[in-house]
Amino acid sequence: MLACIDSVGGDSQPFINLLAMPELIHTGSLIVDDVQDKSEKRRGGKTLHHIYGEPLAINAGNACYFIGDIVVGDSQISEQIRLKIYQLFFEMMRAAHAGQALDISGLHAFMPEAVRTGDCTALEKRLYTIHRLKTAAPACTLARIGGIIGNGTPEEIDEISNYFEAAGMAYQIMDDVLNLKGFENNLKDKGEDITAGKITMPVAKAMGLLNFDEREYVWKTIQTMPTDEKVIRSVINVLQSCGAIDACAKEAEDLIEAAWKKIDIIVPDSFYKVRLRAFGWFILQKD
């Protein structure tokens, strides 16, 4: 957010406290997401609901969504811009919760057809929608807020927002990839999504790359929600050998690069613009 303010010619220093808002929103969403996904580990330790129980974790996660309003109210922002921030905030929260609802409902209804035909178009489209609502929309909104506070032109604000929307999509795709490759320092369990029975982007991609027997094996195994490391590793090996995991990583890179080409034309060169570029690279290398 601060880099977006500075990139369009604004001064972010008076608004440093605003960083609390996206951090709280993100943390709250992780707490609730871990409850709904029944995750065991987060950031190298036990998930909050495993320490304090689900009721307190859900309440704490939801509370995080609203605490950020304190720093917005205390900041040097005009009433007009503050109203716009509130409007964008509620639009973002509606989108994120719609995406989470789609994620919870899952993609199992799309799998039989994908397994039968090898056509993963509908499956991928549904996943893109979930990623766009859950992750890309919040990233896009926070970037737009930064551009507005920095008094950027409409074109600058649009392209910065689009870049962060692409970054949000790429982030989620890379999260799916790293769930299969493993996270550095054991921040999350390798193959956790397979154990949870989730259909992620590498699985969707694989439906268009594997033969029928392989597709059926992957789908049937995921349905069992395996906990045996050998079984999980076997599924990961199938996804890796067909090129699905690498294809997802390449897609994430393409999203970042395509969005950067547009922002590079509109936003003037500066140190802060370099930081935006570096952020995209960081997402592609995140572990």
**How large is the average pLDDT for residues 196-220?**
97
Q: How far apart are CA 95 and CA 162, in angstroms?
A: 16
Distance CA 196, CA 191 (A): 9
Please give the structure tokens belonging to residue 15: 């608004």
Confidence of residue 95 (pLDDT cuts 50, 70, 90): very high
* Boundaries of every domain in the chain: 78-284
To which residue do tokens 């997402």 refer? 283
Residue whose C-alpha is closest to residue 199's, from 105, 101, 95: 105
Region 227-231 average pLDDT: 94
pLDDT in the model for residue 187: 47
Model confidence band, residue 75 (pLDDT cutoffs 50, 70, 90): confident
- The pLDDT tens digits of the residues spanning 11-49 come to 999 999 988 998 999 999 999 989 988 888 888 899 999
Rounded to two decimals, what is the model's pTM?
0.88
Q: How far apart are CA 108 and CA 220, in angstroms?
A: 11
Q: Are 3 and 271 in contact (CB under 8 A)?
A: no
Decide: 180 and 245 in contact? Cβ < 8 Å: yes
Q: Is 45 strand, coil or helix?
A: strand
Among the residue ranges 4-18, 69-83, 230-244, 262-276, the one predicted with the least confidence is 69-83
Q: What is the pLDDT of residues 148-200, one digit of tens each?
A: 999 999 999 999 999 999 999 999 999 999 999 875 445 456 788 999 899 99
Q: Distance (Å, rounded) from C-alpha 71 to C-alpha 254? A: 36
The verdict on domain 78-284 having CATH code 3.40.50.261 is no
Cα distance between the two ends of the chain: 22
Mean pLDDT rounded to a whole number for the chain:
92
| Token pair in block for residue 278 | 């570096």
**Tokens 């909104």 correspond to what residue?**
141
Residue 174 structure tokens: 């890379």
Going by the DSSP 8-state scheme, the letter that residue 110 receives in this structure is: G
Q: What is the DSSP letter of 285?
A: T
